[in-house]
Each structure stands twice: as structure tokens, then as C-alpha cells.
Amino acid sequence: MIPTREILWNIGSISRIALLTLMVLPFAFIAFGLARRSSIWRRGKPEDRFGQWGTRLKGALVKSIFHGRIIRRNKLYAGIMHALIFGGFIILFIGTLIVALEDDITVPLFGWSFYRGDFYLGYKLVVNLGGVMLIVGVLMAFLRRFGLRPKIQETAADDLILLTMLLVLSVQGFVLQALRLAVERDPWAEWSWVSYPMAIPLQGLSEGTLRDLHWVNWWGHFVTTFVFLGYLAYSKMIHVFTSLTNVFFRRLRPMGELASIPDLEEAESFGIAAFEDFTWAQLMNADACMHCGRCLEYCPTFNTGKPLRPRDLVLQIAGYSADQGGIFSGEVGEGENSARFRWGVGAERSLIGEVVTPAELWDCTTCGACMEHCPVYIEHVPMIVGMRRNLVLEQGEFPEELVPMFNNLERLNSPYQFPQNQRADWTRKVGAPVPVMAEKAAAGEDVEVLFFVGCLGSFDSRSQQTTIALTRILQQAGINFAILGKEETCNGDPAKRVGNEYLAQMLAMQTVETLNQYSFKKIVTACPHCFNAIANEYPQIGGHYEVVHHSPLLNQLIEEGRIQLDPESALATGKVTYHDPCYIGRYNGVYDEPRGVVNALPGVELVEMGRNRNKSFCCGGGGGRMFMEETRGTRINQARVNEAIDTGAEVLCAACPFCMTMFEDGIKGVGAEETFAVKDLAELVAASMRVPTPAAPADGAAAAED
Amino acid sequence: MSTVDEPQAAPEPRASAVRAFLDEHLRLVSAVAFVLGVAGLLVSELGDVHELRVFAAALISLAGVGFGIHTGLAGPRTLRVPAWLRSRRAAIGIISTVVAIAPAVVALVALLAGLAGDAGRDRSSMLMTLGSLIGVLMLAATLATGGLTIARINRAANEQPNPGDPAALDGEGAEA
């Protein structure tokens, strides 16, 4: 006997006709949902997400299909759970296709049957495995939602309907198989390693009962499958399509690059204030959300009790978008969740105010943790900044604390109220002349490195210590560098992140104009915000420069032995913890070099905070937040300082003047001024640096003579 | 015979002609496909012409896709069927869950009842135990997940709408 089975055993012609005729329904529902969603996306503004097809395809396969961005080291449970559900479903889906291929194509058309023999036995083995994977994955999901209850997880009826349907589909499959085996008693039944044991107790029933149960379950399976498929495009299961599409069409530009408003002078509207203001890719972003909540895990606003929850913001936009497009967006309950039910409320709602609140928009620190951890590459920050742009440029509604910042940027080219001619006053504290580009150029001297000091580094007394430290290091390493001095202006980042694109572009173009006057090989800066703007955003306006943040430069100087570290250093001893600034870490991937520097410091032990590297927790100062009051929830900087203190370290090492300022305040806020300090990487290196005293060269010479 | 060159329309590419025809007549084409598909299916199954089955099924599937695309790409408007489904979503959710789990639950209960049956007395006790265990686990999982789902749908349907409305979330930000 050749192992095989009768397809649609116990099912008559009428049932088969009904099955195939009713197939029109799930196909119509899926096509309607996808067509309606694509028509929604097509109403968005154009955005170039085309080209680099190979990279896009590879990303979609690796990051999505093979779970490269879903299974992460600290997300093993959720990742494995999803992989089991996905893998199980795919196996069962392919299994169904194989049966259809045999029954509807190869046998009736070509008289060829492949669903037999070893293939059939292997098929049974694998399909049983697929069913078990699906059941285990669904049960893990239920355990997570009702047992483990991670704080980022919310459970709506939609989630449970889908999970239950998936579980039931698999259970029905096993039951059908077991009922057939109980009647047929195939000699190879043990290959169906789950349903075969189930068939043994079922053999205690009469054949008629078994056949009746089989027939009823077959119809149950068929109805469940069709309901599931029909519901798919209107529930969060739409992510099967939209997430994959979103990953495929993900933005391939640097993460730190915020797109400018093109033709600003000619623009008739600014930013995002209505549905049509989103780009098609942003509307697709909203539909791609699978509600997992990973964007919340390291979000500084969610974790300090502020209204902004990146997931809810995206889902609010998705609900708004669904209303605009006239599509059912899947939530069963009205009010079970603060964001997801908000479809069907009405297409006439205003985006800012009724869909998303200004409080949510202004709380964002633009740290990028949401985007970094989103498995499907949703970009929350550009949407938030887009809506901020409309509030600032069109509605003139923004926190009043931003007024002095805008005024200072306009009048003084800096967010602070210091005249531009005082920009280089810090150089007096260095103790040695600091070369200025204009003078070097006038003298016809070449400059290797332009040190872009930044506004905080120029004016803020605390940040000036970092600037002075870095200057001394550059001098000690013998680097031919110069500063812009009084010619330096704000790079535009604070204005850009709060939505004042007009001011940001003005400042950026002014800076590019200044930089283009001079000849140098690279720019070094101690400010990640300056670094990100110059490296990632200036190319949009014709500024192409090699930029390096001071942390990789310091690491390089130490590795090359261009600066020597003194083991007797008093400042750098004991435990030090390093905070990854968002704009250098997450946005630009600089994680190892700063750690290399700290590890090279004699007598220093680097201890990591729980949230480090790309999981770093923002200081609370990005996105213009440093210039605004933090009135909602608890303080972000204090949360981070407490985390640093908990490591047992005495020093918190930062590499960003914004972080330094926020942490200085945070340390005072938690009352740890006496026991805990924040230092910039450059300060630690400068303090540990062996600086030749006047006598040293003689000693050195004597040693050389010896 | 005219000697003046008269302006002539450029020949329409075949693909865009097909597309224009479908744009205009997609619903009709879908309806025809559906009718032909069902007819083919009847001939296939009742007349034992099984070669037709795959083509009939394809026509029916394409008809569904055509209907869906036709209504989906139409401008946003209130459609009666989706609106009806939306207004009864909680009831549909509960009924669907019950319909989905009920047959499997009955079969799994029958599996446990089958332990006491006398047919096939030569059944291996180890396999009986294993089968029963699997059956109990599947029954428990089905009942638990189905029960939780029905309870959540019921709760969701009875909760007050619009808690945490963005407008009421925080007035502070709106005033900023």
C-alpha cells in the first residue's frame, strides 16, 4: 500500500461546491480592504521610496520574513512567540496549497499524483509540526498577555479574536485528522504524530458518530478559515501585508536626517495639519503598526508618565486615516483602549487637537528610541516634527518658552542670549592661543581640522569646560586645527526639531556659507546635535563635509598613542558609567569608540547601565526639550541619573553638551551633588592626559641620551 | 481627398485599453466571472469533469478580487454592508468565536467520551493516555482562549466610548 489519503474524505460534492463558491467572499473582503488602504495611501503626498530594490528586498526578507528585527536578544520570548505563530501559519498555509495543487491541478489535469509515498509521510510530519508551532505560539501569546503582562502590552478584543482563531484553526486541523484516522486506521498513521494518538481514544466511538463529527468540524474549519480571511484586512492582521510592505519601502536615508520642507519660500502650507499633508509612506507607516509596543519600551515620555505614547500616536493616525478612507479598522470595543478604538469617530476631526494633542507633540525628545526598536520601521519622529512644523509655522502655537529661543536664534544666531562676538571668549581660559579659521586663511596657512564648538560649548560655562578640555587634547596631540570663532552660528538643529524649519534652514545655509569659505579636511565637534546636522542634513543644502564626533577622535588619538594617559590621574578613578547620547548613538551608530576611550582611562572601570547602547534612555534634552519646561509626568533626566547612580558608579560620562546640562540638573534634582558627578568624555581624557611640564622635555632628552 | 494632415489620436497601448475597460466595467466583469465560475464548478462536480474545477475556482476567486477592488478603489463613502458589519461587530465577534470553537469542543469532548467506548479494545494504553492528554490540553486551550475572547468582546462592547479622548487628555498641551 502506498501511503496517501483521500482528499476531502467524508465531504460530498455539494460541500465542495459550497466551499469553492463561497471563496468569493474572503477574496472580496481582502481585496476591498487592501484596495481601500492603497487608495488611502495614494492620497498622501509623494515621497521617493523607490530604487535600491535589492537592498529593499533583502531587508524585507531578512528583517521581516526571517524575523531579523523581531527576534532580538532582549526580546527572545516575544520574538520566538511571533516566529512560532508565523512559521506555523506559513507551514499550514503551504500545506493547504499543496493539497489544492494535488486535488485541483496535477491529478485532474495531468493525471499525476505526488501526494503519496515518502512525500506524503514527510508532509504529515511537517504539517503536524506546523500545527504544534501555531498552538504553542498562540498559548505563549496568551500567557504573555494574561500572565507576564509587560507594561508595554495592551490587550484589545481584536487581539484575542485573532489569536483564538489561529489556535482554533490548528486545533480543528488536528481534530479533523484524528477523526479521519479513527475511521480509516491508516497503517502509516503514526506519521501524523499529534493526531494519531488523538485518534486512539476516538476509536471508542461508532463510525457514524466519527463521520458526523468530522463533517461538522470540516464545516467549522471552513467557516473559521473564511471568517479569519475576511477579517484579516480589517484587523491588526493587516500587518501581514502592511508591515512587509513598510519594511520593503523603508527609508534608506540616514536615520538622523530629517527631511527639509522643499521650496520653503514658495510653500503654501507648512508641515502636517491634515490627512493629505502626510506622505504616502507615512500613511502606510500608520497601517503597518502591529501594536507590539516596542516603541514604548525605551521611550522617555512613556516611561515618565507623559501623554505621548508613540504607539498610540501612530494608531490614532491610523484610526484617523481609516475614517478618512471610509474603512473599518478592526476594533470591536469602543473605549477599551485609549487609541485604537478611535476609528469611526468621524472624518471631520482636526488632526492636531482632536486626533493628536499638542501635549503629545511637544513632549517628544526626538530621541529615536521608538524608530530604532520598531520591528517594521515606522518613523514616528518625522511625523511628530511635521505636525510641530504646522503648529509653529502656520498656527503660531507653541510653548511660550520657545519664544526667547526663536528670538535669540534670529537675532544672535544662538539659542542663548549671548552676542555673537562673545563666541570665542572661552579661548581665554585655555591658556594657549586657539587658532581661528579667518586668521589662518588670511595668513595662507592650511588647516587640517575645523573644531565646530557649538552654542553650548561656546557660551555655557559648564560646557565650556568640555570645549577647553577638547582644545587641550587637540593641542597636545599636535593636530593642526582652528575654530570659526565669531563666525560660528547655530547649526539650526534646535529650531529644526521644534518645527521652525524656516529658521533652521536660514541658520543651516548661513553655516554652510561660512564653512564653504574655508579649506579644511574634516570637522570635529563635541556636540552630537551639531554632528548629526552637519553630517546628515547639510548635504540636502549643498554642505558636504567629513565630520567626526570627538568620541571616535579621542579613541583614535589614544589608540595611535598621540596622547598619553597618566595612571596617577585623580579625576578618573573608580567606576564610571557611560551614557549613549541619542544623536551620536542611535542616530549615528557610535557606541564602541566612547567605550574604548573610557576603558583606556587608567584606574577606571566602565560599568554599564541597564539601558545602554541602542537601548539608551534619553537625557530629556533633545528635540528642543532642553528649552522647554517639563511639566508633565516625572523628570526624564532624574530617571536617567538615578539609573546611573544605581550602577554604583561615581561618575556619569556623557559625550553631549545637552546631556551634560540635563544631567547636571538631574543630579541636583535627586540631591546627589556631593556623591555623584557628570563629566564629558573629553574632560576625563584631558584630566588623565600626561601633559609635559617645562621640565619634562629635559627629562625626556636625558632619558633619550641614556 | 483631403490634402491636409488631420490630427490623429495616438494609438492607445493595449495595456491601457484593457485597464480603461476594467476601470469602467470591473463590476460587470467580476459578476460574469463569478457566474461562469459557479457554472463551471457545477459541471465539474456534478458532471465529473474535474479538469474544469481549477479554472472555475480561479474565476470565482478573481471575481471576489474584482468586486473587492471595484468597491475598495471607489471614493470613500458609506457602504451598506461594511456599515452593517461595523454596527454589529461585537455580536459578530461573539458568534464567530462560538461557531469557530463549538465543533472542535464537541469533538474533543467526544474524544474523552471515546475512552469509555468498547470498540477497538486492543488500543494501546500508552497511546490512549497520550491522546487523551493531548485532547484535554487542546480542549482546555480552546475553551480558555475562546472564553477570554468572548469576555473581552463583551467587555469592550459595553464600555463607555471615548475614554482618554485626546481633547480631554491634557488641556495643558493644547493651551501651550
- Long-range pairs, B169-173, Cβ under 8 A, ≥24: B169/A307, B169/A357, B169/A359, B169/A360, B170/A307, B170/A357, B170/A359, B170/A632, B172/A359, B172/A631, B172/A632, B173/A307, B173/A357, B173/A358, B173/A359, B173/A360, B173/A361, B173/A362, B173/A363, B173/A632
Interface of A with B in 615-654 (CB under 8 A): 631-632
- What is the residue-averaged pLDDT of chain A? 93
Half-sphere exposure of A641 (CA within 13 A, CB side): 26
DSSP state of A490: -
Q: Do B60 and A23 touch (CB under 8 A)?
A: yes
Q: Locate the chain A residue with the closest alpha carbon to B90.
A: A332
Number of residues in chain A: 706
Q: List the one residue out of A460, A470, A514, A474 whose CA is nearest residue A491.
A: A514
Q: Does residue A304 carry a pLDDT above 80?
A: yes
Q: Nearest residue on chain A to B45, judged by CA atoms?
A: A13
The arithmetic mean of pLDDT across residues B3-24, rounded, is 61
CB contact under 8 Å between A353 and B114, yes or no, is no
d(CA A542, CA A303): 39
How many A-B residue pairs are in contact by the CB < 8 A criterion? 321
Give the CB-side neighbour count of residue B109, counting CA atoms within 13 A. 8
Partners of residue B64 in chain A, C-beta under 8 Å: 23-28, 31
Backbone phi, psi, residue A54, to 5°: -65, -45
B-chain residues near A31 (CB < 8 A): 64-69, 72
User: Is-contact A583 A616, C-beta < 8 A?
Assistant: no
Does residue A131 contact residue A192 with C-beta atoms inside 8 Å? no
Residues of chain A contacting B170 with CB distance shorter than 8 Å: 307, 357, 359, 632
Q: Say how far apart CA A568 and CA A576 lie, in whole Å.
A: 17
Q: How confident is the model at residue B5 (pLDDT cuts 50, 70, 90)?
A: very low
Predicted structure pTM score: 0.91
- C-alpha span between A546 and B86 (Å, rounded): 56
A565 pLDDT higher than 80: yes
- With beta carbons less than 8 A apart as the criterion, state whether A352 and A391 touch: yes
Tallying the residues shown for chain B, one arrives at 176
Confidence label for A236 from pLDDT (cuts 50, 70 and 90): confident
Residues of B in contact with A15 (CB under 8 A): none
Q: A607-621, B8-22, B47-61: which range is least confident on average?
A: B8-22
Identify from B84, B96, B115, B121 which residue to disrupt to test chain A contact, counting A C-beta atoms within 10 A and taking the largest count. Answer: B96
CB contact burial B118-152 (16+ within 10 A = b; e otherwise): eebeebeeebbebbbebbeebbebbeebbebbbeb
Residue B12 is predicted with a pLDDT of 52
Is residue A364 scored above 80 in pLDDT? yes
Instruction: Say if A97 is an interface residue toward chain B (CB within 8 Å).
Output: no
Tell me how far apart the terminal alpha carbons of chain A are, to the nearest angstrom. 96
* Interchain contact B87–A (C-beta under 8 A): no
* pLDDT above 50 for A305: yes
pLDDT > 60? residue B6: no
Q: Per-residue pLDDT for A93 more than 80?
A: yes
Report the 10 Å Cβ neighbour count for A59: 19
Q: Which long-range contacts (CB under 8 A, 24 or more apart) does B147-151 make?
A: B148/A142, B148/A146, B148/A160, B148/A164, B149/A157, B149/A160, B149/A161, B149/A163, B149/A164, B149/B93, B149/B97, B150/B94, B150/B97, B150/B98
Look at residue B163 and tell me whether its pLDDT is greater than 50.
no
Looking at residues A531-537, what average pLDDT do you find? 97
- Residue (of A250, A188, A274) closest to A64 by Cα position: A250
Q: Is residue A395 over pLDDT 50? A: yes
Predicted confidence at residue A274, as pLDDT, reads: 94
3-state secondary structure B50-90: HHHHHHHHHHHHHHHHHHHHHHHHCCCCCCHHHHHHHHCHH
Lowest mean pLDDT: which of A409-423, A444-458, B155-169?
Answer: B155-169
Which H or E run includes A76? helix A76-100
Distance separating the N- and C-terminal Cα atoms of chain B: 78
Residue B149 touches chain A, beta carbons under 8 Å: yes
Cα-atom radius of gyration of chain B, to the nearest Å?
29
A171 closest CB neighbour out of B37, B50, B142: B142
Residue A328 forms contact with B (CB below 8 Å): yes
A684 part of contact set with chain B, CB < 8 Å: no
**Mean pLDDT in residue range A206-225:** 96
**What does the pLDDT read at residue A603?**
87
Average pLDDT over residues A563-568: 85
Helix, strand and coil in chain A, % to nearest 5: 60, 5, 35
Q: Is A46 exposed, middle or buried (0-12, 13-18, 19+ CB in 10 A)?
A: exposed
Q: How would residue A434 be classed by pLDDT, with cut points 50, 70 and 90?
A: very high
Percent of the residues in chain A that have a pLDDT greater than 70, as a whole number: 95
Q: Tell me which amino acid residue B50 is.
A: H
- Inform me whether the C-beta atom of residue A171 falls under 8 Å from chain B C-beta atoms: yes
Residue A108, classed as helix, strand or coil, is: helix
Between the CA of residue A457 and those of A294, A425, A530, A651, what are the distances in Å? 35, 11, 11, 20
Closest by CA to A298, choosing from A313, A309, A285, is A309
Place of cell 546631556: A659
Single-letter amino acid, residue A540: Q
Is the confidence at residue A401, as pLDDT, over 50? Answer: yes
Are the Cβ atoms of A344 and B86 closer than 8 angstroms?
Answer: yes
Residue B67 scores a pLDDT above 80? yes
Please report the ipTM that was assigned to this predicted complex: 0.86
**Rounded distance, CA A99 to CA A103, Å?**
6
Split at pLDDT 50, 70, 90, the class of A334 is low
Count other Cβ atoms within 10 Å, centred on residue A693: 9
Q: Is the pLDDT of residue B7 over 70?
A: no
Nearest CA in chain B to A19: B57
Nearest to B57 among A20, A33, A220 (CB): A20
Q: Residue A319's pLDDT is what? A: 84
Contact B54 A109 (CB under 8 A): yes
A531 and A547 Cβ atoms separated by less than 8 Å: yes
Q: Is A362 near chain B, with CB under 8 Å?
A: yes
A227 and B CB contact within 8 Å:
yes
d(CA A184, CA A661) in angstroms, rounded, equals 77
Distance CA A264, CA A501 (A): 8
pLDDT tens-digit map of A376-392 = 999 999 999 999 999 99
- At residue B18, the 3 state secondary structure works out as helix
Question: For residue B125, what pLDDT band results from cuts at 50, 70 and 90?
Answer: confident
Extract the C-alpha cell encoding A684.
576625563
Q: What integer best gives the mean pLDDT of chain B?
A: 81
Residues 6+ apart with CB under 8 A from A587: A254, A255, A256, A368, A528, A532, A536
